[in-house]
Amino acid sequence: MAFNLNDKLVIAVASSALFDLTESDKVFREQHESAYRKYQRQNEKTPLEKGVAFSLIKRLLSLNTAEDHLIEVILLSRNDPDTGLRVFNSIATHGLNISRAVFTAGENPFKYMEALNASLFLSGNIDDVKEAIKFNCPAGYVANKKYEDSDDEELRLAFDFDGVIADDESETVYQENGGLESYQEYEKEHADDKMGEGPLFKFVKQLAEIQKKELKKADEDPEYIPIIRIAICTARNAPAHERAIKSLRKWDLRVDEAFFLGGVDKTTVLNVFKPHIFFDDQQSHIESVGEYFPSAHIPYGVTNKNRES
């Protein structure tokens, strides 16, 4: 019987997000493909160091049990199978339960996301991520930085709201119809209207469903400690908070913590929450938070269109 991905939370991760490819990329850029292939073969038994998304992927996979396989992580790589062997060896060395991969020999692998039922693609290649977003595929760019992981078993994820979980309808009003005053008035008028779904909606929805199973286990077994903790960290504040809360309610999305900051630097609260990843559509927020915690830029919507124009 074929392995069914339709009932799984599927994460597609590029080797550039999972591991630190600084040295490999340097060889490719400076000495080109033949030298790169030789370098990877010579070092295929040398494990790659952990990358930005490593702790996230490790903790997600820890949710799987022998009885309940909830999450599937699939490697989507621009390598070919030969040069990609080092990545697979590194996966085994680091003890990650990842057994499936797509190698595309230089092509952007995002086009296989739909076939694999993936609700998130993480990559260290910004062009790959932008192209994925252009074709309405949920994707995030992670810049190559080193982070120290904590020893606890909890998995903490933080999300911006507009342009990430929700669409950019309200952000468009803010940027194109007169700024904060018009935006606040618009949100008050539409407080009861559910917002449209953003690029990471499916990922958050599936994650929240897994969290519900965790909370049910905790109800049945007082010794069981739920692992997942979800936070929203947004520049919205009153009165715009109401529409966000009502949209979450209508989507049946539970969050553990919500920060309605009204322009306060997001690092002030995230330094306390300590996310294993933070998703935001605004590059300026990613640059700030990314100094301290793994972060993914979602280059979606009006904010990023205006930035590129």
The pair of structure tokens assigned to 29 is: 């850029």
Quick check: is 221 catalytic? no
Residue among 20, 68, 82, 160 flagged as catalytic: 160
Active site residues: 160
